[in-house]
Structure 1
Amino acid sequence: MKCIVTGGAGFIGSHLTDRLLEEGHEVTVVDNLSGGQFRFIEHHVTNPEFSFVNEDLARDGLISSAFEGADMVYHLAANPDVRSGVTDTRTPLTQNTIATFNVLESMRAAGVRKIAFTSTSTVYGEAEVIPTPENYGPLMPISLYGASKLACEAMISAYCHTFDMQSWIYRFANIIGSRGTHGVIFDFIGRLRKDPSKLTILGNGRQSKSYLHISDCVDGMLFAVRNSNAPVNIFNIGSDDRFDVTGIARAVASEMGLENVEFEYTGGDRGWKGDVPFMTLSIAKLKALGWKPVHNSEESVRLCVRELLREV
Structure 2
Amino acid sequence: MSAQVRELAADNGKPLAVVTGGAGFIGSHMVDLLVANGFRVNVVDNLVGGRLANIAHQAQSGDVGFLEADIRDLKTDCPSFAGARFVFHFAGIGDIVPSIERPLDYMASNVMGTVQVLECAKAAGVQKLVYAASSSCYGLAAVPTREDHPIGPEHPYALSKYQGEQACFHWGKVYGLPVNAIRIFNAYGTRSRTSGAYGAVFGVFLRQKLAGTPFTVIGDGSQTRDFLYVTDVARAFFAAAQTPLTGRIWNLGAGKPQSVNRLTELLGGEVTYIPKRPGEPDCTWADISSITADLGWAPTVSFEEGVQRILDNIDYWSEAPLWDPVSIAKASEIWFKFLGDK
Q: Partner of 2:60 in structure 1?
A: 46
Change (3 A) 1:10 1:248: same
Determine if the alignment matches structure 1 residue 212 to structure 2 residue 228: yes
Of the candidates 130, 133, 136, which is equivalent to residue 146 of structure 2? 133
- The equivalent position to 1:28 in structure 2, one of 7, 23, 42, is 42
CA distance in 1: counterparts of 2:95 and 2:75, whole angstroms: 24
Q: What is the deviation of 1:224?
A: 2.8
Query: Which range moves more in the overlay, 61-70 or 236-245?
Result: 61-70
Matched position secondary structure for 2:103: coil
Q: Give the partner amino acid of 1:213.
A: Y
Q: Deviation of residue 310 (structure 1)?
A: 4.4
Question: Whole-Å Cα distance in 2 between the matches of residues 30 and 164 of structure 1?
Answer: 24
Match of 1:165 among 172, 177, 180: 177
**1:287-298, aligned counterparts within 5 Å?**
287-289=292-294, 290-298=296-304
Offset at residue 108 of structure 1 (A)? 2.5
1:180 shift after superposition: 1.1
Q: Which moved more, 1:22-31 or 1:201-210?
A: 201-210
Residue 202 of structure 1, aligned match among 218, 236, 239: 218
Q: CA deviation at 1:191?
A: 1.9
Q: Structure 2: 5+ residue runs without aligned partners?
A: 1-14, 195-199, 318-342
Identity %: 28
Which amino acid counterpart does residue 283 of structure 2 have in structure 1? F
**In structure 2, which of residues 242, 250, 256 is the aligned counterpart of residue 241 of structure 1?**
256
> Among residues 285, 297, 301, which one is paired with 2:290 in the alignment?
285
Worse overlay, 209-218 or 44-53: 44-53
Cα deviations by residue, 1:184-227 (Å, 9 ceiling, x for unpaired): 1110121233343x33222232221100111211122212333x
Aligned length: 296
Distance 1:144 1:299, change over 3 A: farther
TM-score, with structure 2 as normaliser: 0.81
Match of 1:192 among 209, 214, 228: 209
Q: Which residue of 2 aligns with 1:229?
A: 244
Quick one: distance in 2 between partners of 1:282 and 1:51?
36
- The within-5 A match list for 1:66-215 is 66-128=80-142, 130-137=143-150, 139-182=151-194, 183-196=200-213, 198-215=214-231
What SS class does the counterpart of residue 193 from structure 1 fall into?
helix
Alpha carbons 2:144, 2:287 under 8 Å: kept: yes
Query: Which residue of the partner structure matches residue 252 of structure 1?
Result: 267
* Partner SS, residue 278 of structure 1: coil
**5+ unaligned residues in a row in structure 1: which ranges?**
none
Q: What root-mean-square deviation, in Å, do the aligned CA atoms of Structure 1 and Structure 2 show?
A: 2.0
Distance 1:299 1:43 in 2: 23
Q: How many Å separate the matches in 2 of 1:221 and 1:113? A: 14
Residue 70 (structure 1) shift:
1.5
Normalising by the residue count of structure 1, what TM-score does the alignment of the two structures yield?
Answer: 0.88
